[in-house]
Structure 1
């Protein structure tokens, strides 16, 4: 799996990135979760990290490689956004205005996007998807997961999965997003459709299956049926859970061995203990709390309890219409209690863990050479200077992404 946020990966390249003032490797130690190197360099061979170390000790093998001198800038792994909904039609700005005026968020708003998506052509959906991919890529995201879930018919879910697969291999089938209006009186019949013909149509394009286990969406028993059907077809498991109130989503995810459970806005001590004792990642989505005025989860307490945390944007037209992983880092620090180092780790290595990946979200020999050069001396600036475009260069497999930075980087 590559997970690249491009329709076709660039040709692998050789490159020496040097002059790095602060290198975030995410090769963690007991006192440095980010595995920091100072005055560092990264040697890339055929799009893969071949060596990292002091810039003064670059191996002789780098002599013929082209050089990118970043002149003291900080370098981090590319962001890994492990939860997005990027294939959709329509607009829900009026819903946002209503929420800001005091109307509470509810899952039912998804149905308006379903109607707009069903009415959109493939060309219209693809055009918006490509714009969003370019937008998140310019902000440093190099690996992205994309969910279906705005079609909710067999044909529409298949086409959303197919369109998403043009952009990434991390595609998630989310037919169990909400119950569509035509099944309002028979949710179990809709679950039959999701777990049967809809899954069969979408699965060839997907790596994952997800379910919204929440009041107003699917019961734990219905969610269990969906997950079991997905697992039987060889898909990895993900769960939306505990977003709108306390519920069984987290414990269902842990019991099923899901790679991640996402949201976790309302957790009790039992949920936290279950997560801490498992390899299920809790993916926090602070853009949702920002946009819905729900309470932010206490990430500080979760981290201290031993829960593995990822940060993701949940980019979608209703509850979090932002593609900015730097914003997620800033919100996690300001509102959720993580340190800047912890937040950057969660937005890179944490996201990779949520996708069960060990080749992205890190900069160590053998990993993909996906990295971000910041217009800053330290990763702390991602929280210290929120809202400022700090991404100076983005490399996918060692190849600079056109339009990926502000100033375009410094090549020699």
Structure 2
């Protein structure tokens, strides 16, 4: 069984591209929950004590919830399930009702001994699977990093419970460590978005905002004279060639366009010209914890060039040029300048403080939050709309051809 499972796992991992890594992580979380669930079901057939039966039931609940929730997360990340929150009629009541029925049945079925093991297991499994689906579909795609951390914590909890069932202290300890680290990481990522777990789980804070615009005077914005695309491109090349300090801020758009290799190629060219290039990583950029780190590591970027937001934010004001690649909400000044938006209070990368800003995004549409990005109106911003990979490729060729 170990050999067969290893072969299947290796085959799946080899076929997965780096851009699909969030889906793989979510799927593996689900597999961990399913494994704990199945082992506990098998043990529940002949429980040693009533207490053991209760633990088996709880392991089945947590494991199957993790499995179905992870499958929904995989669907949202891959685009097979609608990424926007799906709110059913009376969704909160429905979720609470199923959870309450599940807990009551778990508590009294064993105590009153009015059901067989088969019925007990099937009912727990069915209710928990349904609860996992209903719970996860109301969470938007941009919140998947938090959901993946939470489901990872649940897979650890399921494994720990399974360890109690099988009387395996090592499994109990390892599962508890995974669970604790997953919860801590979930909370850390929520703080990075200025939200809490309840907001994420209830699908709150993602309603698009209309009519909330920043006043030009308060932002000290200045409408730039109309420039042709060629003018923007030429000016961008001039700025890059003269830059000594460059910070690149990647976002989910870099993952979508698979531009990480072009990002590193651009950085290498700039370094060859004498510039210092660093990468600013926002904790919730992408669709899983460490998403940007994984993609840039795949491209060969040295780890010491990847700096967390807190470590690099104060350096933007001394930076000649900041390059955003597929980043929107995590560099949106509205988060710290405007109250009442879904991202208000969220710490951001202070790209707006750089002397020059090159925006390599697909278009000017808002990010997942729905909040317009005034960064695009900053007087020092040059907007290079289009596929990030193609835009970077053009900049690379321009820097190489023009000396």
- The TM tier, using the shorter chain, reads under 0.3
TM-score by length of 1: 0.25
Q: Which has the larger radius of gyration?
A: 2
Of Structure 1 and Structure 2, the greater helix share is in 2
Higher relative contact order (CA 8 A, sep 6+): 1
Of Structure 1 and Structure 2, the greater strand share is in 1
